[in-house]
Amino acid sequence: MLVPEPGLMIWTLITFGVAVLVLTLLAFKPLQKALDARRQSIQDSVDAAEEARAEALRLLEEYKATLARVRGESDEILERSRTTAEHAKAEILAEAKAQSERVLERAHEQIERDTRAALRDIKGQIAELTALATEKVAAASLSAADQQRLIDEALAELDVESLGAEGRA
């Protein structure tokens, strides 16, 4: 078991030397290269992700700021439009009221004018009729029956006109 076997040492050195060469050239170097490449790619993607995150955060901040500004603005606009609308409403209402009052006024004036014109007209007609009746009475010798008829006629005529005039006044 413990017999000296120096020849075996030579064989060991040869095989071990071959193993070192083969492993170094075929396994270790390519493996190290592959591992380095993977580490590099992972590092790169981590860096890229970090960058993207920072970018996203920056954008988010920006959007938040913009959103706050826009919200304030929109509130302001809404407020302004509301006040404007209220103003407009009040104005329109006032305008409408004024207009309706004006129309009413004008209508009243018209009626007054019409009434006055109608009265004037009636008065003229009454005078004419009276004159006509007087003429008729004066022109013919009137019988009692005629006289009565004429008076009734005149009265009937007058009655309608005056009633209409009175109702309007």
Partner 1 sequence: MMKRKRLIWAFVAIIALAAVIGIDVLKEPGQAEEFEIAEEFELHPIIELPSIGPFDLSITKAVVYLWLTAAVLIVFALLVRRSLKRETPSRFRVMMELLYSLAHDGIVGAVMKSGRATWFPYIASAFFFVLTANLLGLIPLPLAEHNQFGFYTATANLYVTLALALCTFVFTHYAGLRQNGPRYFVNWAPSSAPPVLKQLIWVIHAVSEVFRLVSLAVRLFANMLAGHAILAVFFAMALIFQSYLAAVVLQGASVLIYMFEIFVAFIQAFIFAILSAVYISGALDQEH
Q: Reduced to 3 states, what is the DSSP secondary structure of residue 2?
A: coil
Binding mask 69-88 for partner 1 (x = CB under 8 A): --------------------
Nearest to partner 1 of 13, 156 (CB atom): 13
Task: Please identify, using beta-carbon distances, which residue of 6 and 167 lies nearer to partner 1.
Answer: 6
Site for partner 1 in 23-62 (CB under 8 A): 23-24, 26-28, 30-32, 34-35
Q: How far is the CB of 45 from partner 1 (least distance, A)?
A: 16
| Residues ≥6 apart with Cβ < 8 Å to 161 | 122, 125, 126
Instruction: Tell the smallest beta-carbon distance from residue 29 to partner 1 (Å).
Output: 8
Distance CA 138, CA 133 (A): 8
63 binds partner 1, rule: CB under 8 A? no
Q: Which two tokens stand for residue 162?
A: 């005056």
Smaller CB separation from partner 1, 15 or 110: 15
Tokens of 100: 């309706």
CA distance linking residue 80 with residue 82, whole number of Å: 5
Q: Are 169 and 119 in contact (CB under 8 A)?
A: yes
Contacts of 118 (CB under 8 A, 6+ apart): 164, 165, 168
Of 8 and 145, CB closest to partner 1: 8
Which residue shows structure tokens 């014109």? 117
Count of residues touching partner 1 (by CB under 8 A): 29
CB of 31 to partner 1, least distance (A): 5
Binding site for partner 1 (CB under 8 A): 1-13, 15-16, 18-20, 22-24, 26-28, 30-32, 34-35
